[in-house]
A and B are shown apart, each in its own frame.
Chain A
Amino acid sequence: MTFIKNAWYAAGWSHELADALVARKILGEPVVLFRKPDGTAVALADRCPHRFVPLHKGKLKDGVLECGYHGLCFDETGACVSNPHGDHLIPKAARVTSYKLAERDGIVWIWMGDPALADEAKISPFPQFGGNPRFTCVYGYLHVDANYQLISDNLLDLTHGQYIHPMFTSAAGPSVFEPSPDTDEFTVWARFMRRCQYPNKYFQFLGYPADKLGDHRNVMRWNPPSVLLLDVGMTGVGEAVENGLSIPTAHLLTPETEMTSHYFWGMARDFRREDEEFSKKLLKTGMDIFDNEDKPMIEAQQSGMGSTTDLMSLKPVLLTTDGPSVRARRLVQRLIDEERA
């Protein structure tokens, strides 16, 4: 296993990059992120080429990053622009990698591969996030000690909700996987429906009447390398989606290393939009669910798999609900193979 290099990964939420330096290892490479005074986001290799200390231990000075050890300064291109020592000459080798970034939908996207191939048209849209006037969002992050594809498997088979998440449990049993046709070569859909049911505890918490039957939908969209958008909502039986509650969620998985992952999640809602107390409750609910329920299970899974991250090499038993995750894994493998060819 390795990673798709030529792809847009989430490096963070836009709002994380304010004044502070943000240090994050991505695909095994240490990266430091910051904003220039004009607002442009910058990502540099987080290692000074002089003494190899992390640049995030330094500070921002007029839009350039000053190393905290001996004061070399680097600009957004990664070039050293100031050497305070001796004759102030700048050695040719005094340069760090600068990564391509793009900001869309409140997400900072990073391209870790060949910069010449970085095509912003390939960024998956998350239009409900980052300031869409129809939605109010909360954002979270968790660090998971497991390979990123195990998290993607978790999200592509939502029947786990019945067993792992007390809030998502339904008296009528797990959600039902409904195969859907492909829309394009680079999208995998995973549709899990709970039709004609009473709301689970989650939808009751969101405000769906406990005594009203409805159709609860979960339609997951997966795109490479590992970014997922879940259309989740509930409406009265057979009613149009617009009439009910919609609370789409974004799940952006970025490998930190082979064995550890960044998991950025966001929840966007189209109801109770001005209610800040509700936002706080929602954020806490999301953290309870992802941090305390999914994360321990996925980490236990990784630990149960031993030193490998390649689930398929262990020849797992597969169920029909695993169709989407098998397809997503095949596509990742294909893209990795194409990069190597």
Chain B
Amino acid sequence: MSDPSPALDAVISRREALADGIIGLELESADGTPLPPFEAGAHIDVHVKPGLIRQYSICNDPAEHTSYRLGVLQATNSRGGSIEIHRSFTEGRRIKIGFPRNNFRLAKDRGRSVLLGGGIGITPLLSMALRLKRHGERFHLHYCTRARSHTAFLAELEAELASHASVHFDDGPATQRFLARKIAFTPEEDTHAYVCGPQGFMDWVIGEMKQLGWPDGNIHTEHFNAAVDSGGASFQVIAARSGTIVEVPPGKTIAEALAARGIDIPLSCEQGVCGTCLTKVLNGIPDHRDFFQTDAEKATNRWMTPCCSRALTPTIELDI
């Protein structure tokens, strides 16, 4: 059997504490050859232990790919990945990593770039910033953290990106605090923003930017198109046949939320391809995330796939 996701043998050449709860790892190839090149914004799979793979952004300058630098926050709501890395990823240890992949590219026809990072979301933006600086492009990085003690890469920012970066601490003086409306000025057509951080940070920043007139196409976030994207705000689903009302929180699908209340929808692929769960919409507007319906079918909003699609309205009523 071949491994479905090809892996590289790497060795942890350096581990350092970057901030409270954040370690930096430097990875080199186990046989000393250069690692594959990567684009700014790319991430790699890290094989944490058998059966556990996590994705981390590469934060160094893409022009320097003799090593990959990662920043790993020990997440309080960790499902085991970051805790295990903090516990067992010691210097000199050999690990398996995937090839770099990029779901967070710099726009092709870009004029000015605005990089907006919250907390550990800084990692892909750092790589972008170093890339933009090397090529002499116009950009600015805003980095928001809870406090100085929680802020990774401070020294690097001061040394490499001083005139291009502003750091905002939540607990700092009001004058330095991050105000989206102050910095997320109305963009020119070729101004592109890249937003990365915790969901709450992203929702807030993007909400503010949209109010300021930023078109969707100029706001970039990292998207993973391989797996089902079950992110997004919570909403209510009404199963009309029984009148049951269920809350669908971020990270849960309609089908999962209904199943927890004993309402089972027939499912097969669970990623919006097969159409098995196609369900009639009685009220509300779906946020279609399936591949089964054509764009024209989606536009009618008469049917939706509860295995992966969500709602754009606070409530959606389905013929279930």
In the assembled complex, B274 has its CB within 8 A of some CB on chain A: yes
Judged by a CB distance under 8 angstroms, whether A28 is at the interface is no
Name the A residues within 8 Å of B269 (CB-CB).
Answer: 317-319, 322
| Residues of B contacting A88 in the complex (Cβ-Cβ under 8 angstroms) | none
Give A316's nearest chain B residue, CB to CB.
B274
Smallest beta-carbon distance B196→chain A, Å? 19
Decide if B39 touches A327 in the complex (CB within 8 Å): no
Indicate if A171 sits at the interface (CB-CB under 8 A): yes
Evaluate contact between B291 and A319: CB separation under 8 angstroms: no
In the assembled complex, which residues on chain B have CB atoms less than 8 Å from the CB atom of A171?
A: 6, 36, 99
Which of A176-184, A226-234, A268-276 forms part of the interface with chain B? A176-184
Tell me the complex Cα distance, A163–B2, Å.
Answer: 9
Of all chain B residues, the one with the shortest Cβ separation from A184 is B296
A206 to B10, CA, bound (A): 32
Q: Which of B279-311 contact A (CB under 8 A)?
A: 291-292, 294-296
B174 contacts A by Cβ under 8 Å? no
Complex alpha-carbon distance, A291 and B228, angstroms? 36
Cα of A186 to Cα of B39 in the assembled complex, Å: 36
Q: Does A133 contact B (CB under 8 A)?
A: no
B241: interface (CB < 8 Å): no
Docked CA distance A238–B107 (Å) = 10
Give chain A residues whose Cβ lies under 8 Å from the Cβ of B102: 195-196
Q: Interface majority SS on B: helix, strand, loop or mixed?
A: loop
Q: Assess whether A326 is in contact with B225, with CB atoms less than 8 Å apart.
A: no
Does B78 sit within 8 A of A, measured CB to CB?
A: no
Q: Say yes or no for A185: interface residue by CB 8 A criterion.
A: yes
A172 in the interface (beta carbon within 8 A)? yes
* A238 vs B36: C-alpha distance when bound (angstroms): 17
Partner of B292, one of A177, A181, A195, A327: A327
Closest to B6 in A: A173
Residues of A close to B38: CB separation below 8 A: 196
Q: Give the distance in Å from the alpha carbon of A171 to the alpha carbon of B35 in the complex.
A: 12
Q: Are B275 and A326 in contact (CB under 8 A)?
A: yes
Judging by beta carbons under 8 Å apart, are A326 and B37 in contact? no
B241 nearest CB across to chain A (Å): 25
Beta-carbon contacts under 8 Å, B1-34 to A: 2, 5-6
Q: Looking at the assembled complex, report how far the CB atom of A271 sits from the nearest CB atom of chain B, in whole angstroms.
A: 24
Nearest-neighbour CB distance to chain A for B44, whole angstroms, equals 11
- In the complex formed, the residue of B with least CB distance to A176 is B101
- Chain A residues 317 to 341 lying within 8 A of chain B, measured CB to CB, are 317-320, 322-324, 326-327, 330
From B6, B42, B296, residue with most partner A Cβ within 10 Å: B6
Q: Does B159 contact A (CB under 8 A)?
A: no
Contact status A326-B274, CB under 8 Å: yes
Task: For the complex, give the distance between the alpha carbons of A330 and B274 in Å.
Answer: 10
> B268 contacts the other chain (Cβ, under 8 Å)?
yes
Q: Write the B167-206 contact mask toward A (1 if CB under 8 angstroms, else 0).
A: 0000000000000000000000000000000000000000
Q: Is B260 an interface residue (CB 8 A)?
A: no
B271 touches A319 (CB 8 A): yes
- A85 located at the interface, meaning its Cβ lies under 8 Å from any Cβ of chain B in the complex: no
B225 engages A178 (CB within 8 Å): yes
Min CB–CB distance A188 → chain B (angstroms): 9
Sampled A-B contacts (25; CB under 8 Å): A171-B6, A176-B101, A177-B225, A181-B295, A182-B294, A182-B295, A185-B294, A185-B296, A195-B39, A196-B39, A196-B102, A317-B269, A318-B268, A318-B269, A318-B273, A319-B269, A320-B225, A320-B226, A320-B271, A320-B273, A322-B291, A323-B272, A323-B273, A326-B274, A326-B291
Give B residues with C-beta under 8 Å from A: 2, 5-6, 36-39, 42, 98-102, 108, 225-226, 268-269, 271-275, 291-292, 294-296
Sample of 18 further A-B pairs with CB below 8 A, known A172-B100, A196-B39? A171-B36, A173-B98, A181-B295, A185-B294, A196-B42, A315-B268, A318-B269, A319-B269, A319-B273, A320-B225, A320-B226, A320-B272, A320-B273, A322-B273, A323-B291, A323-B292, A326-B274, A330-B292
